[in-house]
Amino acid sequence: MKPFTKKLLLVSSALLCALPESASALAMFSSQTGKSCMACHTQNMPKLNSYGKEFALSGYTIYDESKTAKPLIVGSDVPLGLPSTLSVSAVLKASYVKTTQEEDATTGDLVGTERGELQGLSASGIYFGGRVADNFGALVSLKGNDDKRTDIVYNAKLLLAYSAMGGYTGMSLISTETNGLFSGMELHNTGLNTPVKMFENAYATNAAQATGVGNGPATALQAYYGNANLFVSAGIGIPAQNSEGLDAGKSLLPFYRISYSQPIGDWNFMVGAYAIKGDVEASDMSLNGELVSNRAELVKIHKEAHGFDFEMSGKLFDMSAMATVNHVVRNTVDVDPAAVLTAYNLQSTDNKGTSVELQINPIDPLGLKVGYLSYANNDDAATNQKFIKNYDYEAYTVGASYNVLENFSVGIDVSRYYPESDIKSYDDIYVNAALAF
């Protein structure tokens, strides 16, 4: 590990100022608004409540007006400055992951393993952001990475937002290694933005994550409008953090999102749709994980995905409850068959999936969860990637999460996979803990 990376992660360990990423709750936002984390988030759920959605749509610019700002240029009247409390958070998250998915070189079966893996720093990192100016916000993160090819990943988001028509209209610019095209602005808990998910093991529980629609590297510009009911957005992006190995001018992927929420009694219902469609020209060497040289040739790639999602939340027998459904109708990536591919790069893909997730809180701090995922691979020649599988399967998951204190949470997910092939059934176990203060 590089010395800089070691220092970065040591600083992350020392600060410990944020809730787990899966809850998307950062202590710096509490400091900025003067409110607790639960002012934006439903108890023990990553779902944003109405105030949390308004804060996101505002570009993270809502703040406690009793706090003064420090100008970047002394004596200047330009409304650009830093809040009186430094907008920085950090998270140290420990996870124990055990899977029986180990391929036998002789039979090709997936067989059991005796030992799991402790991932102490893979989700740890430092976060900077919040309100920068009157209508301008930002969020930047440096995180540990469980990918053996890199030590850290960075994600950055810049937002410009204005009040309009009873809501907010704005634009976001993102550069992300992990969170996908839709992460510039996404309000719902159905998996289109990697950090906002119900289960820790999202690849066994969420169709957008399992198919690859809602994750991966992206650089994108997105325009949006949102109010208490309607959310619409459209943007263009490339499937990378930089243009190395890409002809960026010929690699713009248009993407779209629309959703409508309606309260009925004590429940709120949301229906939505999303789509990605476009062409990319990328280097065959970048697809193969090599350094790009003069020998590289551009390969044409076509990407197309679309689906529907649904979310409902409210009270069930006086207990908080939430359910989400995500149906990926189609997710295809057609790559020139002459290109040499690896599991770490854009692949030829043809898959679809449907997921159903439910969480109920018998008491506010305790969340009990169940999930179901049906995944179908339609490409017999597809490569078995790190998360995207080249075989059909069904997965059933049960889980629980508990806020021991508002700033200390623990959780467990147990998933059982049933492949529709000669592969044996196998399990995943995720145990995680996060401390915030």
Residues 6+ apart with CB under 8 A from 29: 37, 40, 55, 60, 130
Amino acid identity at 68: T
Q: What is the pLDDT of residue 426?
A: 85
Tokens standing for residue 361: 């809180």
3-state secondary structure the chain: CCHHHHHHHHHHHHHCCECCHHHCCEHHHHHHHCCCHHHCECCCCCCECHHHHHHHHCCCCCCCCCCCEEECCCCCCCCEEEECCCCEEEECEEEEEEECCEECCCCCCEECCCCCEEECCCCCEEEEEEEEECCEEEEEEEEECCCCCCCEEEEEEEEEEEEECCEEEEEEEEEECCECHHHHCCCCCCCCCCCCCCCCCHHHCCHHHHHCCCCECEEEEEEEEECCCEEEEEEEEECCCCCCCECHHHCCEEEEEEEEEEEECCEEEEEEEEEEEEEEEEEHHHHCCCCCCCCCCEEEEEEEEEEEEEEEEEEECCEEEEEEEEEEEEEEEEECCCCCCCCCCCCCEEEEEEEEEEEEEEECCEEEEEEEEEEEECCCCCCCCCCCCCCCEEEEEEEEEEEEECCEEEEEEEEEEEECCCCCCEEEEEEEEEECC
Q: What is the pLDDT of residue 28?
A: 62
Closest by Cα among 384, 393, 398 to 430: 398
Q: Answer whether 368's CB lies under 8 Å from 400's CB.
A: yes
Residue 22 φ then ψ, to 5°: -60, -20
First to last CA, the chain: 28
Which one is the CATH code of 95-116+148-435: 3.90.220, 1.10.357, 2.40.160, 2.40.128?
2.40.160
Only one residue has tokens 């999930």, namely 371
24 Ramachandran zone, left/alpha/beta (phi>0; psi -120 to 50): left
Q: What is the pLDDT of residue 121?
A: 62
29 Ramachandran zone, left/alpha/beta (phi>0; psi -120 to 50): alpha
Q: What is the pLDDT of residue 156?
A: 92
Only one residue has tokens 């399990």, namely 427
How far apart are the C-alpha atoms of 73 and 133, rounded to whole Å? 13
Say what the pTM is: 0.83
Only one residue has tokens 């990926």, namely 328
Q: What is the pLDDT of residue 55?
A: 85
Only one residue has tokens 């991966």, namely 216
Q: What is the pLDDT of residue 285?
A: 55
Q: What is the pLDDT of residue 133?
A: 80
Q: What is the pLDDT of residue 123?
A: 64
Q: What is the pLDDT of residue 258?
A: 98
Domain boundaries in the chain? 95-116+148-435
In the chain (437 residues long), the average pLDDT of successive 10-residue segments reads 38 34 54 67 65 85 66 53 59 72 53 57 74 86 65 86 94 91 92 86 92 89 96 92 71 93 93 94 60 62 93 90 95 75 61 95 91 90 69 94 81 91 83 74
* Cα-based torsion angle of the residue sequence 391, 389, 395, 358 in order, rounded to the nearest 10 degrees: -140
Q: What is the pLDDT of residue 19?
A: 35
Give the chain's length.
437
With 0-12 CB in 10 A as exposed, 13-18 as middle and 19+ as buried, what is 377? buried
Only one residue has tokens 């991932």, namely 119
